[in-house]
Amino acid sequence: MADVDAAQRALEDALGPSEVLSDPLSRALYARDASMVEGACALVAFPRSLEDVVACVRIAGEHGLPIVPRGSGTGLAGASTPIADALVVVTSKMTRILEVRPEDRLAWVEPGLPNLDLATALAPSGFTYAPDPSSQQTSSIGGNVNTNAGGLHCLAYGVTSNHVLALDLVLPDASVVRLGSEAPEAAGYDLRGVVIGSEGTVGIVAAVCVRLTPLPPDVRTMLFDFETVEDCAATVSAIIASGVVPAAIEMMDHGIVVAAESFAHAGYPTDAAAILIVEVDGTPASVRAQSEAVERAAREHRVRSVRVARDEAERGLIWKGRKSAFGAVAQIAPHYHLHDCVVPRSSLARVLAGVYEIAARHGLVVTNVFHAGDGNLHPLLSFDRRVPGTLERVLRASDEIVRLCISVGGALSGEHGIGLEKREFMPLVFTDDDLAAQACVRTAFDPDGRMNPHKVLPEGARCGDFAMARGADAAGAAASLPEGSWI
Amino acid sequence: MDLIHPHSKADVLEVLREASRHRTRVLIVGGRTHMDKGNPCETDVELWTTMLDDLIAYEPAEMIAVVGAGMRVGDLQRALAEADQEWPVDAPPEATVGGVIAAAAVSPRRLSVGAVRDSVLEVELVTGDGRLVRSGARTVKNVTGYDLHKLVTGSLGTLGVIVQVALKVRPRPQARRTVLAGGGLETAARLLERVPLPAAVLATPETTEVRLEGWGEQVEEQTLAVAGSASVIELLDEAPFPLRRPWEERALVLEAAVPPSRLPELLAEAPDAWGALAGVGIAWVGLDAADGELAVVRERAARLGGIAPVVKGPGGLGDAPVPAMEVHRRLKASFDPAGVLAPGRFWGGI
């Protein structure tokens, strides 16, 4: 049985009294992340060092508290929503850049460092950290690691996993291991690769060694507008078919263009059915060649106008509209539910038509802004939770959207993760054996099920069903969601 | 040694179930091009994957190819070339896709193409006890559960048989050029700094090969940058990269990995048959025998924060410490509970 009071005293001794919160307001604040799920927690701790993180994990273990790691709380799938007696370990006070070594093309940072702060700090060195989720002003590197975060420039640069060389992980037994290496290869299985995207269920990431990417010598940002969504979507496939892999291809539909424009004043064409933002980078000659091919593809699909950013200020403005899109939808309705699923690029137009149909049938407003080049959709349902019955309609529509994406060969999540919100969808894409194998991976790190229970795997998926593994089992030991938490 | 040559995933499942039941130790074999990577181990049978060589799905517009793991790399690259695409992994044409993944083979173009693991989107694996499990998805982005496909990349056939994979492919560059310049590591370091976005910079004791790939005009632009910073010996369009691999003429080849800036220290007293990837930290070092030299290079790599497994000839992986050994043991016990998959071949004696 958890002894919360004893745990609190021990944590206060180890971290200092000001770094441990237990008052009702704090517990309520940390009982949820940016998802629609609400949970509950017993204590909130703010480590300032690797040693503090170790102390948190050790003390939680000694007093029987489950641990929920949390970065900036921008997660959209409920992975850092705590359940019941949990100790929430918040890394947002661990924001130091520990070391920058351009000669080795790497930097060591603490997990709480906001993504954009790292990119800004690196810029004078001629390097950058490539992953740039839309939440980058707030979201932390540690959170990005735990969700294998994507961003606007994944198409050419890849996701977080491609840019993390090594990490220091505090295992659930409070031991510390360095996974991966400053060298390009390391001894052992790629546990680094397993931790990335594991949503805080295998340990707490206490330091991250990121790969530095040289800033491209030239970049061009273009904005295309179309009279139909179909032409816009078809242009995406045509660009790829022409042999160009732009740094980014982002698509915004009419509804989101209108909302973003009135918020960011980026000069977006508000009468367009859809717009594409395409960015190409490389050497000057390569940028010229790519831009020509991209423009040709757009013209073949009846583009209405082409706008090329003339300078850094205009480029910034075009991206500002895109990056503030989610904030801008507050004008449509007070609440929104943001989806994240991936479909084959060639089925974008068909899936979008389906999404509009589903929303219309449930009487909901849907807008779309997404990473078209990756086939990564983000349908955004706007609603007012206070209207009785609305939430139920949102959840039914969401369910249908997920099933639609899966039916065309898509994935449940491209960059937000599974968390609590999507774990019961996992059997849609995986067999019992697949899920049991995944449970084995989790159990290998966390045999006693201490770390972020209830997340990622559906109830019932357990390692013991699969192989001859022994001992306790993280996912299997989880009971049903307690009363008071809702999705 | 008995040979087993399965024709289907179902065959593989059956073979592994039987092997686990009878404690028959199995060595998984693809194109036999990367077998020397790994510690010596005793096995009873060889399981050849080469009949699992179907092109299962390939949509050029998706830039994803799904293939049987026994497909030869040369056959895959030919199929992709028809749509002007490539799997951005450099391996001998007779190697199998699954073998290259299981060995986590390092591409000479690592600087621009990244690690093999970055191109593996989905894996179907038959575990040691004969279960088929799938991980990942046929999409370029995917955060859906635990990435078994990362775990098996580089696992040297000790967790299961990779039977099918979905690979991220990309357009073939329109122009490819190797610029051979005079000067070794120092030249390479200078070129890495001054040439914008090269595909690779490979130093040998006396020369540096700069690989340039992309649009025609871009390659010309980059060539000028090379010429401005080093003495150019030769320009070769459409040549293989690297042009020469003198280290492979030796009996034994080490594949050392250290932080990139430590390459000069690693190679300071190394014998003269080596090639090193600037900005990456990989060095292939050729030796005549698994004698004292091997231990010296290994010890030096370890001191510089790296490893140095042998990839050709005898010598195994070396005794670099494996982090989280308990996690490794539990993984092995879950995926190969009877311990029949190449016992002892992996790091740490797994």
**What tens digit of pLDDT does each residue of A70-97 get?**
999 999 999 999 987 899 999 999 999 9
Interface of A with B in 412-441 (CB under 8 A): 412-418, 426, 429-431, 433-438, 440-441
Query: Are A104 and B261 inside 8 Å of each other by CB?
Result: yes
Q: Is the dihedral of CA A353, A355, A359, A362 positive or negative?
A: positive
Residue in B138, B146, B326 to test binding to A, most A beta-carbons within 10 Å: B146
Beta-carbon separation of A189 and B331 below 8 A: yes
Domain B246-312, architecture per CATH: 2-Layer Sandwich (3.30)
> Measured between CB atoms, does B132 come within 8 Å of chain A?
yes
- Tell me what the mean pLDDT of segment B190-219 comes to: 97
Q: Do B148 and A190 lie within an 8 Å CB cutoff?
A: no
In terms of domains, do A167 and A224 share one?
Answer: no
Q: Are A177 and A445 in contact (CB under 8 A)?
A: no
Examine the domain organization and report whether A114 and A150 are in the same domain.
yes
Cβ A456–B145 below 8 Å, yes or no?
A: yes
Please report whether residue A210 resides in a domain: yes
Strand order in the sheet with B274-277: B232-237, B175-182, B207-214, B200-203, B274-277, B282-287, B252-257, B310-312
User: Measured between CB atoms, does A458 come within 8 Å of chain B?
Assistant: no
Q: Do B330 and A187 touch (CB under 8 A)?
A: no
Structure confidence at residue A332 (pLDDT)? 86
Q: Provide the 10 A C-beta neighbour count for residue B220.
A: 13
Q: Which residue, among A291, A296, A264, has the nearest Cα to A278 in the 3D structure?
A: A291
Residue in A with minimal Cα distance to B169: A245
Q: Give B131's contacts in chain A (Cβ within 8 Å).
A: 433, 437, 466
Q: Do B151 and A189 touch (CB under 8 A)?
A: yes
B75 has a pLDDT exceeding 90: yes
Do the Cβ atoms of A184 and B197 come within 8 Å?
no
Cβ B245 vs Cβ B275: under 8 Å:
yes
Q: Per-residue pLDDT tens for A256-307?
A: 999 999 989 999 999 999 999 999 999 999 999 999 999 999 999 999 999 9
Q: Name the A residues in 34-93 with CB < 8 Å from any B CB.
A: none
Q: Which residue of A157, A189, A468 to mutate against B (max B Cβ within 10 Å)?
A: A189
pLDDT at A138 over 50: yes
In chain B, what percentage of residues exceed pLDDT 70?
A: 100
Reply yes or no on whether the pLDDT at A475 is more than 60: no
Expressed in angstroms, the distance from the first to the final Cα of chain B is: 22
**Which of A173, A188, A214 is the last residue in one of the domains?**
A214
User: What are the residue boundaries of the structural domains of chain B, listed by start?
Assistant: 2-171+330-349, 175-237, 246-312
User: What is the distance in angstroms between the Cα of A463 and the nearest Cα belonging to chain B?
Assistant: 8
pLDDT digits (tens, 9 = 90+) for A429-455: 999 999 999 999 999 999 999 999 999
Q: Which residues of A touch B342 (CB under 8 A)?
A: none
Domain shared by A42 and A115, yes or no: no
Instruction: Identify the CATH assignment for B175-237 out of 3.30.70.1150, 1.10.10.10, 2.60.40.1120, 3.20.20.70.
Output: 3.30.70.1150
What distance in Å separates the CA atoms of residue B242 and residue B176, rounded to the nearest whole number? 12
Average pLDDT, chain B: 97
Choice between A374 and A460, residue whose per-residue pLDDT is larger: A374
Per-residue pLDDT tens digits for A8-50: 999 999 999 999 999 999 999 999 999 888 899 999 999 999 9
Sheet of B2-4, strand order = B2-4, B45-48, B26-29
Type of residue at B78: R
Answer yes or no: is A186 within a domain. Answer: yes
- Do residue A178 and residue B62 have CB atoms under 8 angstroms apart? no
pLDDT exceeds cutoff 70 at A482: no
Q: Does the beta carbon of A285 lie under 8 angstroms from any beta carbon of chain B?
A: yes
pLDDT at B25: 98
Phi, psi of B259 (to 5 degrees): -55, 140
Domain containing residue A51: 4-90
For testing the chain A interface, which of B23, B121, B144, B226 should be mutated: the one with the most A CBs within 10 Å?
Answer: B144
- What residues of chain A lie within 8 A of the CB of B330, using their CB? 440, 443-444, 447, 469
Residue among B120, B258, B255, B86 nearest A161 (CA): B120
What is the rounded average pLDDT of the residues B14-43?
Answer: 97
CA–CA separation, B294 vs B255, rounded Å? 11
Q: How far apart are CA B209 and CA B222, in angstroms?
A: 13
Chosen from A155, A173, A287, A441 to mutate, greatest number of chain B CBs within 10 A: A441
Residues of A in contact with B137 (CB under 8 A): 342, 410-411, 429
For chain A, the domain total comes to 5
Give me the mean pLDDT over the B217-230 stretch: 97
Q: Is B327 within 8 Å of A191 when comparing Cβ atoms?
A: yes
User: Beta strands of B142-281 (E only): which ranges?
Assistant: 160-168, 170-171, 175-182, 200-203, 207-214, 232-237, 252-257, 274-277
B131: left (phi over 0), alpha (psi -120 to 50) or beta: beta
Instruction: Using an 8 Å CB-CB cutoff, list chain B residues near A179.
Output: 323-324
* A212 part of contact set with chain B, CB < 8 Å: no
Edge-to-edge, what's the strand order for the sheet holding A218-226? A305-308, A218-226, A274-282, A248-253, A365-370, A379-383, A335-338
Give A302's strand partners: none
Nearest to A410 among B118, B139, B218 (CB): B139
pLDDT of residue A166: 98
What integer is the mean pLDDT of B87-104?
Answer: 98
User: Comparing B175-237 with B246-312, is the CATH topology the same?
Assistant: yes
What per-residue confidence (pLDDT) applies to A471? Answer: 35
Number of residue pairs across A and B with CB atoms under 8 Å? 274
Chain B residues near residue A431 by CB distance under 8 angstroms: 133-134
Q: Report which DSSP code applies to B307.
A: B
Decide if pLDDT at A1 tops 80. Answer: no
Residue A448's identity, in one-letter code, is D
Q: Distance from B161 to chain A by nearest Cα, in Å?
A: 14
Task: Order across the sheet with A43-45: list the strands.
Answer: A20-21, A43-45, A87-90, A67-70
Distance between CA A334 and CA A186 in Å, rounded? 49
> Average pLDDT of B182-195?
97
Residues with Cβ within 8 Å of A97's Cβ and at least 6 positions away in sequence, in order, are A107, A108, A109, A110, A113, A118, A121
Phi, psi for residue A176 in degrees, rounded to 5? -115, 130
Which of A37, A35, A419, A36 is CA-nearest to residue A199? A419
Query: Would you place residue A478 in the very low, low, confident or very high pLDDT band (cuts 50, 70, 90)?
Result: very low
Q: Per residue in A331-375, pLDDT tens?
A: 888 888 998 999 998 899 999 999 999 999 999 999 999 999 999
| CATH architecture assignment, domain B2-171+330-349 | 2-Layer Sandwich (3.30)
Same domain for A358 and A434, yes or no, is no
In a domain, A487, yes or no: no
Do B335 and A290 lie within an 8 Å CB cutoff?
no
Interface of B with A in 1-40 (CB under 8 A): none
Q: Is the peptide bond before A133 cis (omega within 30 degrees of 0)?
A: no
Nearest CA to A221 among A294, A303, A298? Answer: A294
Cα A93–chain centre separation: 20
Helix (H, G, I), strand (E, B) or coil at B19: helix
Q: Which residues of A1-36 are buried (b: 16+ CB within 10 A; e: fewer)?
A: ebebeebbebbbebbeeebbbbeeeebeebbbbbbb
Test B135 with A375 for CB contact under 8 angstroms. Answer: no
Q: Which residues of A touch B259 (CB under 8 A)?
A: 101, 104, 106, 182-183
Q: Which two tokens stand for residue B99?
A: 């073998």
Minimum-distance CB partner of A183 among B155, B171, B305: B305
Per DSSP (E only), the strands in A71-203 are 87-90, 97-101, 106-109, 127-128, 164-170, 176-180
Contact A104 B131 (CB under 8 A): no
SS3 content of chain A, % helix, strand, coil (to 5): 40, 20, 40
Q: Which of A418, A415, A416 is nearest to A426 (CA)?
A: A418
Q: How near does any CA of chain A get to the CA of B94, in Å?
A: 24
What is the distance between the alpha carbons of residues B70 and A121, in angstroms, rounded to a whole number? 46
- Which residues lie closer than 8 Å to B331 by C-beta, 6 or more apart? A189, A440, A441, A444, B151, B159
Q: What distance lies between CA B338 and its chain's CA centroid?
A: 28
Instruction: Give dist(CA A55, CA A255) in Å, integer.
Output: 49
Q: What percent of chain A has pLDDT over 90?
A: 86
* Domain's final residue, options A385, A405, A423: A423
Q: Provide Rg for chain B, Cα atoms.
A: 21
Show residues of chain B in contact with A441, CB under 8 Å. Answer: 146, 148, 151, 331, 334
Q: Does B323 touch chain A (CB under 8 A)?
A: yes
At a CB cut-off of 8 Å and minimum separation 6, what does A13 contact?
none
Residues A286, B218: C-beta atoms closer than 8 Å: yes
A34 domain-assigned: yes
Contact A237 B61 (CB under 8 A): yes
Burial class from Cβ neighbours inside 10 Å (0-12, 13-18, 19+) for residue B201 reads: buried
CA of A153: which chain B residue's CA is closest? B141
Element (H, E) at B16: helix B9-22
CB proximity B63 to A under 8 Å? yes
Strand, coil or helix: B296: helix
Residue A482 inside a domain? The answer is no
A 373-412 residues with CB below 8 A of B?
374-376, 409-412
Q: B218 at the A interface (CB within 8 A)?
A: yes
Domain end marker among A183, A214, A245: A214
The answer, for A166 touching chain B at a CB cutoff of 8 Å, is no
Q: Does B131 touch chain A (CB under 8 A)?
A: yes
- Cα-Cα end-to-end distance for chain A: 26
Amino acid B32 reads R
Chain A (322-351) residues lying within 8 Å, Cβ to Cβ, of chain B = 342-346
Give the whole-angstrom CA distance, residue B24 versus residue B45: 7
* Average pLDDT rounded to a whole number, residues A454-465: 87
pLDDT at B321 over 80: yes
Contact B131 A433 (CB under 8 A): yes
pLDDT at A487: 33
Strand pairing category for B26-29 and B207-214: unpaired
Secondary structure (DSSP) of A170-185: E-TTS-EEEEE-SSSS
Mean pLDDT of chain A: 92
Residue A486 lies in a domain: no
Q: Which pLDDT band, with edges at 50, 70 and 90, does A64 fall under?
A: very high
